[in-house]
Structure 1
Amino acid sequence: MTEKYETRKIQYTGRSSYIISLPKHWILELGLKQGDQIRISKSGSTNLILYPPSVQPKTAHAEAATIEIDPNEKPPSITRKLISLYFMGFKTIHVKPKTNRLRPNQRLHIKESVRRILMGSEIISDSSTIITIQVLINLLELTVEGAFKRMVHLAKSVSRDALSAVQENNKELATEVTNMDDEIDRFGFYIIRQLKIAIQNDHILKEIGFKNARSCLGYRILVKCIERMGDHAVLIARDVLEFDKKIDPEAIAILQDMNTFALSVLDDACLALFKDDYHQAEATIIKAAQISEFDKKLHKITDGIWDSEIVFRTREIAANIRRIAEYSVDIAEIVLNLNIEKTLYQR
């Protein structure tokens, strides 16, 4: 939906104020009348916002937050609190103990979480009585699109490495894949934080390249899709870590081809996203259905394998690869939803 703008001249009253007139149809649509009071607030450095009496202006978001940690609080609980505050857009987070001091393992975990998970954050104060975390990265230093492209690159990389680990029975490479999952999540958390900030401010929304809040919602789902792809690569890598038997070489060749195909579907879906191309997205969905051909080839091979463990593992790896293609379809469907208006008949 396009925004309706009106142009008005600013007039000087000759004293200490300037005045502008408001369009009559705006006044009628909002049910206003002569004598009503209008609230005016300054948003950023370029916008003025008018609020009719029935609408309360949003208060400015606090830039700092403080959480208290119980002496027996477990590290995962602390991490969840830090992530939640990071998502909410706080620039400074203070972590204090409810009583006495932060325990050494709690301090260590907080510092590790900041390093691994909270992109653009640094610990600027560290003691047993308080840890202060500051988010230093600027909203426009790393755009949402730029961070998303980095996520996609990492997801593709770990997927390829996971299959290489299977082929080579390389446990060291498999371990590296499991460790990289945190890096994908780190970019995902960063994007969610930026979307949360942008959706509350129309000016920032436009600054980071979004047309409307609906696009933000779409990107939130896209991030989850890429995170899930990384999770499936980790599941493939864990197969290598947990079992010693090698997968049948002929089956591995098909799995490699299947993975290459799944990643090509991801490439096509992302291309449609970045081009806002409805037809490309539709073609991607049709293409993704072809992954079933790899399943058929794989079943023919596994039907001739007597070792039930090898058969189960091979089919589980194939299922994880198939999920990558399915999440790529989800991305393509988001592109369809965001661009359907372009296909409507224009009178």
Structure 2
Amino acid sequence: MPARVLRKVQLTGGSTLIVSLPKEWVKNVGISPGDYVVIEQQPDNSLRILPSKFVRKGPYEVDMIIKKDMTPSMIMREFISRYLAGYDVIRVKFEDSAYKSKDIIRDIMQRKVIGMEVIEEKANELVIQCLAKHSDFPVELALRRMGNITLFMLTDLLRAIKEGDVELLRAIPSRDDNVDKFYIFILRQLKMVMLGLLSPSDIGASDLRECLGLRLVIKSIERIADHVTNSAICMLEVEDMKKDIRSLLLKLGENVKRLYSDTLKAFFERNPILAHSVADKIEQIKEMESRLVEKVMVLASTRDAMYLRLVAESLRRIADYSTDISEITINLAIPGP
């Protein structure tokens, strides 16, 4: 059947408008006279037609077999791939002595995903269900929390650098898991839209174009959290930081933090003017990074210089990702054709 079919709207019964369904499509999906179809209005006022038998009547279930030679990272990737695919229930089955991997599954549920709970357990099987629904936790709310956690991580990084707080630096990486959980949760919902399991309006988006923008935004925020984490780890390795270096590093960090904060504000308010302002400041950030690196190469030891340059690069990368988000904000502010 052609991707697009033209049909004439006809009047019947004096007031009812009807349109015929394409014969080839009817045959492909197995519709017969008397069957029901579900009609969904889309955000762009188009209509989506589904045979009623295609509409989900229960949770989507999938099996996952864990073999004893599977590594923890393999198990994690296999589990998360099923979560992202939109399955509501994952039946994890353990072959032979692989039941010892149950703790790995529980660790993944705790650190990497939102809303997954064990609802049934046997010696060689775990039945896990996603109890977090898109209607209970909309994408924008999850995205705001993801952005705020990352901003607080950056705030604490700068405070730790200023005060020399080693314990605060050590605490930052653990919060990266929370950002990853929101990232994977939002990505799950966006993938379900792309698969046709949800409509854009179900997750609070206006159309597929906005869903694509959201996909790029959450990836940028996830990468920003990674760079904050990497910076904290590198700062733990620095043995002696001169006053001039600390001053320049904090100046760079505060400007990057302000840039990221404005980026989030512009995105959530859909403010293209503020987004343009953010994008225009990236060159200033690069100049600050260059001045910092020059000072580091003169005053710091070879070992400390290596880690401090990595921190400077990470802060600049945070600014780069902030600019990417700002550009997405500007793009979404332009009405589609």
TM range, smaller chain: 0.7 to 0.9
Give SS of 1:123's match: strand
Q: What aligned pairs does 1:294-305 form with structure 2 within 5 A after superposition?
A: 294-305=288-299
Percent identity for Structure 1 against Structure 2: 26
Specify the alignment match of 1:288 in structure 2: 282
Q: 2:247 matched to 1:253?
A: yes
Per-residue CA shift, 1:142-176, capped at 9, x if unaligned? Answer: 11111111111111111222333344444432221
1:123 is matched with which residue? 118
Report whether the alignment pairs 1:93 with 2:107. no
Instruction: Please give the alpha-carbon distance, in whole angstroms, between the structure 2 residues aligned to 1:267 and 1:184.
Output: 16
Instruction: Name the aligned partner's letter for residue 123 of structure 2.
Output: S
From the superposition, tell whether residues 306 and 254 of structure 1 become closer, same or farther in structure 2 (CA, over 3 Å): closer
Say which of 227, 240, 262 aligns to 2:222: 227
- Asked if 2 retains the 8 angstrom alpha-carbon contact of 1:167 and 1:247, the reply is no
- Letter of the 1:227 counterpart: E
Structure 1 contact 148–191 (Cα < 8 Å) conserved: yes
CA RMSD of superposed structures (Å):
3.3
TM-score normalized with structure 1 length: 0.80
Matched, 1:83 2:83: no
* TM-score normalised by structure 2 residue count: 0.82
Moved more, 275-284 or 116-125: 275-284
- Matched with 1:155 is 150
Match in the other structure for 1:3: none
Q: 1:166 to 1:127 in 2, by over 3 A?
A: farther
> Equivalent residues in 2 for 1:171-190 (5 A)?
171-190=166-185
C-alpha distance 175-50 of structure 1, shift in aligned 2 (>3 A):
same
Check conservation: 1:42, 1:48, Cα contact below 8 A: no
Matches within 5 A, 1:1-347: 20-22=16-18, 41-42=37-38, 49-50=48-49, 59-60=54-55, 63-97=60-94, 99-104=95-100, 106-201=101-196, 204-241=199-236, 243=237, 245-305=239-299, 307-341=301-335
Superposed CA offset, 1:106-157 (max 9, x none): 1111011111111011112233310111100121211111111111111111
* TM-superposed deviation, 1:48: 7.7
Letter in 2 for 1:146: L
2:5 aligned partner: none
Matched residues in 2 for 1:283 and 1:45: separation? 37
- Match of 1:65, SS state, is strand
Q: Is the 8 A contact 1:169 1:246 kept in 2?
A: no
Which segments of 5 or more consecutive residues in structure 2 lack a partner in the other structure? 1-7
Identify the range of structure 1 (191-200 vs 115-124) with the bigger mean alpha-carbon deviation: 191-200
Q: 1:298 to 1:277 in 2, by over 3 A?
A: same
Determine the C-alpha separation between the residues in 1 that align with 2:53 and 2:327.
34
C-alpha distance 167-122 of structure 1, shift in aligned 2 (>3 A)? same
Give 1:231 deviation, angstroms. 0.7
Cα deviation, residue 244, structure 1: 5.2
- Distance 1:324-1:10 versus aligned 2 partners, 3 A rule: farther
